[in-house]
Structure 1
Amino acid sequence: MAGLDPLGTGLLGLAAMFVLIFLHVPIGIAMGVVGLVGVALIIGWGPALTLAATEPSSAMASEGFAVIALFLLMGNFANAGGLSAELYRLAQALVGRFRGGLAFATIGACAGFGAICGSSVATAATMARIALPQMLARGYARELAAGAIAAGGTLGMIIPPSVVMILYAVLTENSIIALFVAAIVPGLVAVLFYFVTIWAVVARRPGLAPPGEPADLAATLRVMGECWAVVLLAVVVSGGIYTGVFTVSEAAAVGAALAFLLALLRGRMSRAAFVDSLSDTAASTALIFVIIIGASIFSYFATLSGMPAAIVAGIEALDLPPLAVILLLQVMYLILGAIFDTIAAMVITLPFVYPLVTGMGYDPIWWGVVNVLVIELGMITPPIGINVFVLHGMARDLPLGTIFRGVIPFILADLARLLLLILVPSLALWLPRVTGWL
């Protein structure tokens, strides 16, 4: 085995990993098994078994990974406490007077829920339960309603705190707070672009949405007063992080505890809801940790084989402009994002792409934001956009074709926003530099 070419072993292992994934072997297990066998073939079974024994414990001991579990728990407690429904009511009160107001409200509520959830799929599923029945009952076209929910769900990973951003920061040893701050402006731009998209679609085809309801200032103020809990949670968590009162870990713990107390005080935290929140958090965390451990083992194998260095050397030999390389990577991530879960698409490629991008002189914080944006775009891109299938699974009477037609305008908006961020990196880097986090 010692005579095997390391690079050839790496390429063979990469192909084997994709074969296992397409055979429906869980991604974390596929990466871990291929990584262990690859390490064994290159340097022997002794080091491979040592890696298998130490990698899980080192991953579990990381404080950064604990943040993921705590933010997931906060999102589950907030959902159990009815805070997601409050967000929708608040957004509806603010923008319901416009034609297509419920679609605007859906985007706004998705952005707000993303700030206390951090998951794209969870955001889309939650808003499907809350917003879809109301929009259909009030005469909204099914394609507009479905498109707003599926696209709005992607804001769950873009608006900080984001599970994928935490994972990127930990795996690449970058600052979590710097990445969160860098995502604020692109996140707000995402919401703005979605608002403009809805306005343009409804202006062109007024029959897709009914006229807005007359504004009632007293009713709006009353709803704003009733929705204090969700505002409090967002302000405490995000404000605590950005002002330096809390570390990210402390903010996640405080947020989870506060979400639990709010749900308890509102009479929503029954024993069943508590158990469901814990079990869902445990299941999601376990799934993410398996992927993390598998990715860490595979990353070690990839580095050992020399694949990342070979890819960087190969790209440099082509003498392509750096911008052309970045655009080619966007195409690759669009395809991966349409096929794989967001986390899987990122961790599979990080060992190869990260050294390539940073080697060309691009800022790793900027690339983290771009990376998340393009993979999230893949989650609503045909033919396999995951958010689309989540929505279809929750509303079987919505044909997949109808949902995909609904997301097309939002995909175009996302492509424009992604190109803007690539051409103007300061959209992501200005705020962390001004605030001193970068």
Structure 2
Amino acid sequence: LATAATMSKVAYPSMKRYGYSDQLASATIAAGGTLGILIPPSIILMIYGILTQTNIGHLFVAGVIPGLLGLLMYLGVIYVIARVSPQDAPRGERTTMAEKLHALRGVWPFTLLFVLIIGGLYGKIFTATEAAGMGAGLALILAISQRRMSWQSFRQIFIETATTSVMLYSVLFGAMLFAKLISFSGLGEGILELFNDAGLGPWQTIVAILFVFLLLGCVMDSLAIILICVPLFVPILLAHGFDLVWFGIIVVVVTEIALITPPIGMNVFVLKATLPHVRLGAIFRGLTPFIVIDVVRLALLVIFPSISLALVAFMK
């Protein structure tokens, strides 16, 4: 959610400046914002590992290839859209290599900032929360040192940050309340009893569980789904002999799909809150090819578990 909100402020204006349509620009941000919960370091995978007593390092390694696969598939979707509907993504002006290198001269401080923050995360120098603070602080120092920060712009940044934070926490608070309602109503226990009585085969069980995750993901926060559903389904999965590392990746991918699936894709409504002039219908229409390619990726991960587990086996 935070990724979609942030990128709507950073990427959307640039995309519009180069002539991208509202539909493609907003859909790209909403879909791209889902990748962060799979590509390590992932808070969702950490919580899943704690709940299932699965090696978190193995989960992180297992998420690399599916995450990169999702990235490449999204790039493919955008390329096809640009070829089929050039009015949605008009071709930019051609530039020479010298012009490209000259343009990069002004972004090296921010590239260095990115490398420091990501390197610190993967090097276990600081946590994700500390990295966020480091990033904000260093970005502020860079802006001041380059004389791009005025009191007026600082005030505007503060107001927009507060507005976005309140909006995000309101969404999360509502999702947590709904999760509590489901928990207290006994729906979780009912689902467990339903699976036990149905006598489904192993793959039928997987499909049914993923369908439950997809439905709940349309209306609930991903963390709430993990906390409620995973402890209920783990005994069933172990009884059928499924690998919990593989299932963790599958769960996160399904959650990604749910975040952009109508009627209540939470990433879409977060994007709508930050871009009120963009119609919901346009965002959902733009997301259709991304949802289709995500379903293809999910099918590949389910049919070929080695996509997730090959790197884990290699690292062992």
* Length-normalised TM-score, structure 1: 0.59
Match of 1:389 in 2: 269
**Do residues 259 (structure 1) and 135 (structure 2) align?**
yes
Q: Deviations over 1:277-325 (max 9, x none)?
A: 9x969x96xx79x969x98xx69x98xx97687455324xx2x331222
Match of 1:352 in 2: 232
* Aligned Cα root-mean-square deviation (Å): 3.3
Candidates 80, 105, 109, aligned match of 1:222 = 105
Match of 2:248 in 1: 368
How far residue 431 of structure 1 moved from its aligned partner, in angstroms, is 1.2
Candidates 197, 200, 225, aligned match of 1:314 = 197
Cα distance in 1 for partners of 2:190, 2:216 equals 19
Q: Give the match's secondary structure for 2:270.
A: helix
Cα distance in 2 for partners of 1:395, 1:251 equals 30
Count of aligned pairs between the two proteins:
294
Cα distance in 2 for partners of 1:223, 1:368 equals 41
Verify the 8 A CA contact 1:369 1:428 in the aligned structure 2.
Answer: yes
**Kindly tell me: are residues 223 and 324 of structure 1, through their superposed partners in 2, closer, same or farther at Cα, counting changes over 3 Å?**
farther
Verify the 8 A CA contact 1:147 1:404 in the aligned structure 2.
Answer: yes
Match of 2:66 in 1: 186
Structure 1 stretches lacking a partner, 5+ long: 1-120
Structure 2 stretches lacking a partner, 5+ long: none
Match of 2:33 in 1: 153
Q: Give the match's secondary structure for 1:206.
A: coil
**Kindly tell me: are residues 214 and 412 of structure 1, through their superposed partners in 2, closer, same or farther at Cα, counting changes over 3 Å?**
same
Alignment of 1:127-166 (within 5 A): 127-166=7-46
Candidates 407, 412, 420, aligned match of 2:292 = 412
**Do residues 335 (structure 1) and 215 (structure 2) align?**
yes
Cα distance in 2 for partners of 1:388, 1:253 equals 24
Verify the 8 A CA contact 2:117 2:134 in the aligned structure 1.
Answer: yes
Alignment of 1:25-174 (within 5 A): 121-174=1-54
**Kindly tell me: are residues 252 and 396 of structure 1, through their superposed partners in 2, closer, same or farther at Cα, counting changes over 3 Å?**
closer
**Kindly tell me: are residues 374 and 257 of structure 1, through their superposed partners in 2, closer, same or farther at Cα, counting changes over 3 Å?**
same
Candidates 171, 192, 204, aligned match of 2:84 = 204
Match of 2:259 in 1: 379
Candidates 99, 121, 128, aligned match of 1:237 = 121
How far residue 406 of structure 1 moved from its aligned partner, in angstroms, is 0.5
Verify the 8 A CA contact 1:377 1:411 in the aligned structure 2.
Answer: yes
Q: Deviations over 1:372-404 (max 9, x none)?
A: 110111110011101111111112221111110
Cα distance in 2 for partners of 1:367, 1:148 equals 27
Q: Which has the higher contact order (CA 8 A, sep 6+)?
A: 2
How far residue 264 of structure 1 moved from its aligned partner, in angstroms, is 5.4
